[in-house]
Structure 1
Amino acid sequence: MTGYFESLINDVPGNADSLTSLADEWDSYGNRCDGLADDAMSSAHLAPEWTGSARDDFGTSLERQRNRYINLGGDCTTASSALTVYAGAVRAGQSYIENLRYQASKLDEEVDKAPIPQLARATLIPAASALVFAAHIRIEAVKQAADTCAQDLARIVHIEPVQVNNNNPSEGGQMGQLSGDEIAQIQEDLKALKNGTFNWEGMKQGQIGDCYFLASMAAMAQTPEGQRRLASMIQPHYDEHGNVDGYLVRLPADPAHPKDSPAREVFVHSKYINGATQGGRVGAYSILEAAWGQNHPGGTNSSGNTPRGMSGGLSSGALPVFTGKPATELKSSGSAGGYDANERNQIIQASQQHRPMACGNSPIKAPFANGPVSVDATVNGQPAQIKLGGGHAYTIVSADANGVTLCNPHGKNTYSSGRDAPATFTLSWQDYEKYYGNTAIGNL
């Protein structure tokens, strides 16, 4: 019969065996998805004599489907890991509680053997209270493990929308699981960001039209303070073995009102195969880009699509994602003198204060109505002519009385001769005002 003190120890909520069984089911489904991925690719060999453009398109479609199965399988495996961690917390909690109950039962035995049970019980109350308190702490820890598991499950399963251009699916939105080497590199990037030693240059935009977001991210990474802000948005996520299996990234639910909107945390364990890279490799930039895509129901599709995608936007809307504060937006008429003296001074002062800045232009207004234009610039300290295209955003590296220095998130520019040019170049104020009608200044 349970004694008085023993009855004060509550049960741990949850069924560890049922949770383990559910985790096994998720793991099994993940393995099944991996098998389906293999089946999809093996079907390409069923008609070896089939050649031509239709065969090539079919192969591309199979590769796209294979990636979807692999990503879904990875989601299932990660969900299984989350459930396994929770099951372990329940099982360990139950064992701990049983030990406390055993200690409480020993106190009950002392009461039963005492000449005056009431006096013995009163004497043992402090010891019993300590056991009850320890049980309460452990039970609350298990409840927290349940909340964590639920949050993980809500974040983990993500199906990326297909990117459609002119009614045709493209490869821009395809995702691939992070490899062990890529995770190791991201960990190194995070360490450098936290230390303020990250090399912000070397970004290369992929096939996604999120230049406004990438330019803003690179603008943040120009200063140690901005780098630490980027690092604070990314937290490693660990599997049941204590290994990093992805990242939790916090973004404002409404970037236009970052202070008033609740933070939205997304789980990232994949990168865009044709997305942004850093120095030719996957890194912290890639993780933030993947998280930004998850923040849009339309994925990598155009911002004009229904549902809305991440392609197309202004840096004035992206900088608040990183700073947590609305950006200052300046607009030029697109002609010489388009920014007044006060606005020029704002840009110069922001540069001197090392505030993050980015700029953009419109592809439909002059001078980009007929395509890219050639403009005089300074590249590596030498005069040169480079081509500028419309509808593109750039990181502002610096600004002074002589002009504005910009960096292309594509990682390069093009000389008027057609050769590749460095990503960074300087324009006179006259040309900057003519070609870049929108300047966004971040507020750290």
Structure 2
Amino acid sequence: MPTRPNILFILADDLGWADLGVYGQTGFATPHLDRLAAQGVRFTQAYANSAVCSATRFALITGRYQYRLRGGLEEPIARPRDGLGLPPEHPTLPSLLKAAGYDTALIGKWHLGHPPAHGPLRSGYDRFFGNLGGVVDYFTHKPGVGADVPRDLWEGEVPVERSGYYTQILADEAEAYVRGRIDHARPFFLSLHFTAPHWPWEGPQDEAVSRELRDLFHYDGGNLKKYGEIVQSLDAAVGQVLGALDTTGQARDTLVVFTSDNGGERFSKTWPFTGQKTELLEGGLRVPTLLRWPARLQPQVQEQVTISMDWLPTLLAAAGSAPHPDWPSDGENILPVLEGRAPVHARTLYWRYKAQAQRAVRDGDWKYLKINDNAFLFDVAADERERANLRDKHPEVFARLQRQWEDWNAGFLPITDAVFTHGLTPDIQADRYVPERASRVHPGRSN
């Protein structure tokens, strides 16, 4: 029996707050993830570091606010030719665990820069299988449409081909990795980063749809039923990997985390929250989060406010290690709270997002939110829908949080005009990127 836990970190892509049965989904079933929740910790106030994916991934892997790094400002990160990414010299969760004696692997989505300057093998992972960019078609495994578009599927830094639905391919690779770790002397850290349920809107039986796509953004497709198929395939994939832990006798001593990189997109269920991906409303930031560690943690529903960058100090503590002293974490080790050695306590968390000049602070139960020229103060414990603007009723709280955000923001890289346009592809610059949200600037008004 290892003295330190194996660690399996599972990251979904664009999964909404209530997209799992245990969080309120009624349109389809997610039995494997619901079972994981029953066996471990279900968080009720877990946040993503950003309302989009690559920015959160910077925070997750470094344990620091993404705004400390140039690539973390892009939201999403630029195309390969732009040369931005996670600096290889920066300590990361996998590099620190590797130094502590862990075998490290990433299976799935990277989205933190391309070789030769960047890549998983340059930032602490011993093994990588997956896609380097932000999205691929579930069947062609390409980041676009057309015969001339190369596949974005890699084994290390060598392009490879596979046949089949991408979610299932990742599950098979992860299961093989877990089974291959039996009787190894070193514990493992496996990052399993799915692209599901990110668009395009293709379920496991939709290879014909894939062949007919004209645009990977797939704005003319999708519906609630199709979205359910994508999430259910994700649930089955997670169940397959957890089953491998069970049958190999590794489940008790494996710390499993499941979460999402940001809030859900157009077909996600985010009730009772408003907002979705790209918005600093609760629906764009609050994410379903589960943790199981049978050897050390009791099942519980956990009210502690937490955020993506907390996982680096928390998982390092579980492994008997700590963040690099020259790159201290902006996150917090929440293991004492989970073990009952420390009480649930208030947190102060900050966000900014360049689109619509959004900014937000969560301070205890208060939330300051600014979107363009509209500013709000909410009590998110009493008003989860973010409808009752309390800025005039509590002007001193509003002014304090406004000042706090300005003071915090001054310590990070600025979002200049160059940053605002550099990382945006023509598709993302176009209005059609968020057509259904183009006019939503007032969360307290029904549109």
Give TM-score, length-normalised by structure 2. 0.25
Q: TM-score, normalised by structure 1?
A: 0.25
Bigger fraction of residues in helix: 1
Q: Which has the larger radius of gyration?
A: 1
Greater relative contact order structure (CA < 8 Å, 6+ sep) = 2
